[in-house]
Amino acid sequence: MYQFYFEKLEVWQNSRKLVKEIYLVTSSFPDNEKFGITIQMRRASTSISANIAEGFSRQSNKEKSRFLNIAFGSTIEIINFLILSNDLGFLSNESYIELREKAELITNQINALNKSINKE
């Protein structure tokens, strides 16, 4: 099976893992949050990997960069929801710290990738 370039990117691999972890952790959120924070966190997490993948299907660096910026924004959105989920008692401090560190790593990787693209 052919492997696309985006699949080889560490940042995409990390964002894919984050999606799984977000889905697992939000499965224990209260039922009344099913259409609130739960769905927003799941959509934002899937947006990260999807925008990285879509960006690397584009020909121009400007377009790649635009999709990386969207992925960055989605990662920041995840950090926001992690903070809120912790504040509301949906996430333990331990889970909050673990997931936030993973999201912060992804923001750093997206920034580094974006800088390398814009140098070309």
Task: Confirm whether pTM is higher than 0.85.
Answer: yes
Q: Look at residue 119 in the predicted model and tell me its pLDDT.
A: 83
pLDDT of 99 over the 80 cut: yes
pLDDT in tens, 62-73: 999 999 999 999
Residue with tokens 């099976």: 1
Residue 91 has pLDDT above 80, yes or no: yes
Q: Tokens 């259409």 appear where? A: 35
Residue 4 lies in a domain: no
- 71 contacts: CB under 8 Å, gap ≥ 6: 15, 47, 48, 49, 51, 52, 55, 110
Domain contains 111: yes
Q: Decide if 1 is inside a domain.
A: no
Which pLDDT belongs to residue 118? 87
The pLDDT of residue 98 is above 70: yes
Asked whether residue 3 is assigned to any structural domain, the reply reads no
Is 29 a domain residue?
Answer: yes
Domain with 74, as residue range(s), is 10-119
Residue 97, pLDDT above cutoff 70:
yes
For residue 39, tell me if it sits in a domain: yes
CATH of the domain at 70: 1.20.1440.60
Q: How many domains does the chain have?
A: 1
Q: Tens digit of pLDDT for each residue in 7-64?
A: 999 999 999 999 999 999 999 999 999 889 999 999 999 999 999 999 999 999 999 9
Q: Is residue 2 part of a domain?
A: no
Nearest to residue 112, comparing CAs of 21, 9, 17, 39? Answer: 9
